[in-house]
Amino acid sequence: MSEKEILQRIQSENVEFIDLQFGDMFGMLNHTTFIAKNFEESHFKNGIPFDGSSIRSWKSIDKSDMVFLPDIESAFIDPFRTRKTMVFFGDIIEPRTGEMYSRSPRTIIHNALNYLKSLGIGDEIFFGPEPEFFIFDSVNIRNTSNVSYYEVDSVEGPWNSDAGNDNLGHLIKHKMGYFPASPQDTMVDLRNDITTHMQEMGMHVYLHHHEVGTAQGEIGFRYGTGVTAGDSVHKYKYAVKNTAHAYGKSATFMPKPMAGDNGSGMHVHSSIWKGGNNIFAGDEYANLSDTAIYAIGGLLRHGRSIQVFTNPTGNSYRRLVPGYEAPVKLAYSATNRSAAVRIPYVIGSKARRIEFRCGDSSGSPYLNFAALTMAMIDGIRNKIHPGDPLDKNIYDLPAQEAAKISSTSTGLDMAISELKNDMEFLVAGDVFSEDLIDAYLDYKVAEEIEPLKVQPTPLEYELYYDI
């Protein structure tokens, strides 16, 4: 679609406002809104200036001018606005050089895809993310020097079994929420509306269902390239949160919002294509190619360090523990959901792919996919073989056998330490800049790791107050 064609669409559909959206380095969706009648063809060619100094870890105030260049193909009508609004994702441009901004996560996934092509490995890499979420009826949070607590509530919650006249039974016990029919599943209509809104936003949706956790859900949508799949994750989260808000509820993609129940992950399927063929399909283990096996080798070799981007928050590691269906061992296996890398059962070579199961959606999807891409590229370039598959329930392995298998990072501080010692594969081809990595890590340490270290929790009061 050309600039003239999109302007004609804006006029013919009586669009009143243009909303420009972009994700920051840490996965937060930002936006600014313009009056549609003031939008011109030059805005699509040259971009729109904005102040980048207030975006976390981006620009200092003395060099704050940035440019947003709309991606015409990303356009969709926002179903949540009362006046007709067209939304664009886009790239961030450094006006002093005319190049894409090196700290914009969308730039990094562009770089990774270009690097893949330059090496002749493939023409495209596709990602199929599966972000899970919780929807609560209410959430209360207080964290001051003398008070610290959170409280979430859901009509599905087993803690409401004695709610008097408000309790109609049919509650969902922790870790028993997978696929129950209504009346246990109270969110069917809500998820129907979410998927309807997603389709109105131009997304191709396959299905939805209740997930394992109390008040937890998942919606399946079509895969895309690194760029379009990243856009889709942002659109998906936008649709889930805004639909829940319209219902008077609150949606979260926080990896572990409740103790004692499963957390929310984002399993990511991927395959590399070249010349119209899926080069992950072959005659090796689970009908994979040597290329796919080496890609798995790269993911497992760099599994701990890429967690800085795939499991990017302190809370991520409260999910990534044994006993809650989250993989904690860096192994691979066919159709095995206890492994870090699963090879799904599929029909036909076009659908052949691998699935990285450790990650979650609490950060930037673009950086997540770029880190996965670079780990796979390194595995393919250096023919890193992952060893034999582990075709057994890893959760039930005897302790002595489990100890022989490399584990995922146990905390964000560990993942950062691993990355600092294992960074070369990310900066290869100037895909990730050291400047971006340094800025990202500095923020994570100062704003998350250090505050979490010094904050007492209610559990500590239970354990230690009477000492």
**Which H or E run includes 48?**
strand 48-51
Specify whether 3 is catalytic. no
Residues 6+ apart with CB under 8 A from 47: 67, 68, 69, 70, 90, 93
Active-site option among 130, 153, 193, 391? 130
C-alpha–C-alpha distance, residues 247 and 186, integer Å: 12
At 233 the three-state DSSP class reads: helix
How many CA atoms within 13 Å lie on the side-chain side of 221?
31
Alpha helices per DSSP H over 164-264: 188-200, 226-246
Active-site option among 355, 378, 413, 418? 355
- Phi and psi dihedrals of 307, rounded to 5? -65, -20
At 99 the three-state DSSP class reads: strand
Active-site option among 78, 94, 218, 360? 218
Active-site option among 13, 40, 51, 447? 51
Specify whether 401 is catalytic. no
C-alpha–C-alpha distance, residues 253 and 25, integer Å: 17
Eight-class DSSP state of 371: H
- Phi and psi dihedrals of 17, rounded to 5? -135, 150
- Cα 294 to Cα 269, 284, 333, 386: the distances in Å are 16, 11, 14, 7
Cβ atoms < 10 Å from Cβ of 136: 21
Specify whether 218 is catalytic. yes
Number of H helices, E strands in the chain: 15, 19
Eight-class DSSP state of 38: G
Question: 31 is written with which tokens?
Answer: 């936006």
Question: 440 is written with which tokens?
Answer: 């990202």
C-alpha–C-alpha distance, residues 240 and 189, integer Å: 13
Beta bridge partners, 219, equal 208
Active-site option among 24, 94, 132, 156? 132
Specify whether 130 is catalytic. yes
Specify whether 460 is catalytic. no
Specify whether 357 is catalytic. yes
Active-site option among 208, 267, 269, 352? 267
Torsion 255-104-220-294 (CA) sign? negative
Specify whether 51 is catalytic. yes
Active-site option among 24, 211, 231, 418? 211
Active-site option among 209, 337, 381, 385? 337
Give which of 87, 91, 123 is closest to 105, Cα–Cα: 91
Answer for the pair 133, 240: CB distance below 8 angstroms, yes or no. Answer: yes
Q: Catalytic positions, please?
A: 51, 130, 132, 211, 218, 267, 337, 355, 357
